[in-house]
Amino acid sequence: MGADHPPFGRTREATDYEEHVVSAPTSPADLVILGGGSGGYAAALRAAELGLSVVLIEKDKVGGTCLHRGCIPTKALLHSGEVADSAREGEQFGVKTSLAGIDMDGVNAYKDGVVSRLYKGLQGLIKSRKITYVEGEGRLVSPTAVSVNGETYEGRHVLLATGSYSRSIPGVELDGVRVIDSEQALGLDRVPTSAIILGGGVIGCEFASAWKSFGVDVTIIEGLKHLVPLEDESSSKLLERAFRRRKINFELGNLVSSVQPTENGVKVSLQNSKEFEAEIVLVAVGRGPVSQGLGYEEAGVAMDRGYVLVDQYCQTNVPTISAVGDLIPTLQLAHVGFGEGILVAERLAGLPVVPIDYAGVPRVTYSEPEVASVGLTEVQAREEYGDEIETLVYDLGGNGRSQILKTQGAVKLIRQKDGPVVGVHMVGSRVGELVAEAQLIFNWEALPDEVAALIHPHPTQSEAIGEAHLALAGKPLHAHS
């Protein structure tokens, strides 16, 4: 498949790593990358590993949003919340514990420490691969060149990987104090008494979960009819049920009409005339591509609503330019960026590459409980196969490990009749750790009988996947037929 994309055909001599490049190299690099987030740095590491000369340009810190302001710090925050819940609820496990309070300075020190260690490790990887790293705000100035810090870096190929920013709602102004985005929320030095979250997707539900664990009175406002609306409806309903038990409030199917400051906080008015007040408002309505004013359109790159358009190999309409990550209209997930970056690097090095099947990419919402899935939702499966599908739901009530953890939820399987499993959807504590096996089941087009033949260790939550497939294969064990 790589035949249409010839390699550059040369391996450079290794040069010393420079953290801040002062002058541009005199000869073109094999690859110039604009943006050092998940997609950009993955492409840089793999391309350098394959012998290509690489220039990596990043205006902030290598690692991008995911490492510094997204995936990693939010999951650290959620783990602090899990520890708080364990302390608060220890008695149900026969352990007399109590929660004295949340020390946000301590939480932030823990969170920042995790980020710092990973950042230093990533810096070491960049250095070890002899990648020329340039810190500064770059701009595409031709189909083969990026300008930064007054210097121009020529490349045989340019990769655009400038990532995304936190979107807002028209008419809602972020002030960084009372009305904040997710990046500002990660820097809070206090636990607010109450919060309204605009948006019930992944980001909104994760912050709602963490803040509730910290003792915040949380209300989610979601314009669509379910939380995590991109997931299977059954998963959304299970999460909603769990959030009700946790006393996380939510208003579904209603849009915001205004957000106004009050004497003690913020008031949110909805189009159905309902009003909510809280100390702060978090705007978590998704992320948009960072592409404006970077020279993309001037270089002839095809765009749509700010996104860079690419083919299945992440190549734009300009043969010397590719794009990856949140900048293109694919799943906005760090691991998707990794995969796309690696694909581009291998394509440019002349290796055969296979387009990414985005339905086969695992998706996880790290709330309590977690929501994890891969493959098609039931609605999508019916659109593709009509009535030629079967579904099965295995309740975690029959799973020993889940009972030990006192978690509730389910594993839902969707299969093509007499065919492979085309969707796996899970809700429950820690089910994100199970989705790797689900990914293999979907991507290898496994039949229920084939998975049912595998023996899963007992007692583990992974048994829930095995038990669900046993039931779908017509031989249930710890489940009603």
Question: What DSSP assignment string belongs to 367-395?
Answer: SSSEEEEEE--HHHHHHHHTT-EEEEEEE
Domain around 436 = 369-473
Tell whether 56 and 198 lie within a shared domain.
no
CA 257 to chain centre: 28
Asked if the structure places residue 12 within a domain, the reply is no
Is 4 domain-assigned? no
Helix (H) / strand (E) element for 421: namely strand 421-428
Q: Are residues 121 and 219 in the same domain?
A: no
Q: Are residues 381 and 427 in the same domain?
A: yes
Residue 157 falls inside a structural domain: yes
Number of domain units in the chain: 3
Residues 377 and 456 in one domain: yes
Domain boundary pick from 358, 383, 411: 358
Handedness of CA 77, 80, 86, 89 (dihedral sign): negative
Q: Do 181 and 208 share a domain, yes or no?
A: yes
158 and 35 in a common domain: yes
The pLDDT of residue 202: 98
pLDDT at 478: 87
- What dihedral angle (degrees, nearest 10) is formed by the CA atoms of 297, 298, 299, 302? 20
What was the pLDDT predicted at 99? 95
Q: Whole-angstrom Cα distance, residue 372 to residue 381?
A: 17
Domain shared by 296 and 331, yes or no: yes
Say if residue 192 is in the same domain as residue 116: no
Q: How far, in whole angstroms, is CA 201 from its chain's centroid?
A: 11
Q: Of 358, 385, 406, which marks where a domain is finished?
A: 358
Amino acid in position 137: E
Residues taking part in catalysis = 458
Is the torsion defined by CA of 70, 76, 81, 85 positive or negative? positive
In a domain, 186, yes or no: yes
Question: Which of 267, 285, 303 is the endpoint of a domain?
Answer: 285
Are the C-beta atoms of 353 and 327 separated by less than 8 Å?
Answer: no
Beta-bridge mates of residue 249:
219
- Residues in binding site: 75, 138, 162-164, 199-206, 222, 286, 326
| Residue found by looking up tokens 């889940």 in the block | 402
Provide the pLDDT for residue 24.
61
| Residues 154 and 303 reside in one and the same domain | yes
24 located within any domain:
no
CA dist 438 to 227, 358, 360, Å? 22, 14, 9
Residue 127 lies in a domain: yes
Backbone angles phi, psi at 122, to 5 degrees: -65, -40
Asked if the structure places residue 7 within a domain, the reply is: no
Q: Are residues 318 and 297 in the same domain?
A: yes
Per-residue pLDDT of the chain (481 residues; tens, 9 = 90+): 333 444 443 333 333 333 444 356 667 999 999 999 999 999 999 999 999 999 999 999 999 999 999 999 999 999 999 999 999 999 999 999 999 999 999 999 999 999 999 999 999 999 999 999 999 999 999 999 999 999 999 999 999 999 999 999 998 999 999 999 999 999 999 999 999 999 999 999 999 999 999 999 999 999 999 999 999 999 999 999 999 999 999 999 999 999 999 999 999 999 999 999 999 999 999 999 999 999 999 999 999 999 999 999 999 999 999 999 999 999 999 999 999 999 999 999 999 999 999 999 999 999 999 999 999 999 999 999 999 999 999 999 999 999 999 999 999 999 999 999 999 999 999 999 999 999 999 999 999 999 999 999 999 999 999 999 999 999 999 887 6
Closest CA to 172 of 255, 258, 286: 258
CATH code, domain carrying 402: 3.30.390.30
Same domain, 136 and 159: yes
The rounded distance, in Å, linking the Cα atoms of 374 and 363 is 6
Residue numbers in the known binding site for FAD are 75, 138, 162-164, 326
Q: Which segments are annotated as binding site for NAD(+)?
A: 199-206, 222, 286
* DSSP labels, 247-266: T-EEEES--EEEEEE-SSSE
Work out whether strand 54-58 and strand 29-34 pair parallel, antiparallel, or are unpaired: parallel
Given the structure tokens 């990856």, which residue do they identify?
Answer: 324
Instruction: Please check whether residue 364 lies inside any domain of the structure.
Output: no
Q: Which candidate, 424, 465, 456, places its Cα nearest to that of 442? A: 424
Domain at 159, CATH number: 3.50.50.60
Specify whether the CB–CB gap between 410 and 427 falls below 8 A: yes
> What is the C-alpha to C-alpha distance for residues 281 and 259, in angstroms, rounded to an integer?
9
Report pLDDT for 282.
Answer: 98
Amino acid 27: pLDDT: 79
Q: Which residues of 27-66 are buried (b: 16+ CB within 10 A; e: fewer)?
A: ebbbbbbbbbbbbbbbbbbbbbebebbbbbbbebbbbbbb
Tell me, yes or no, whether 335 and 243 share the same domain.
no
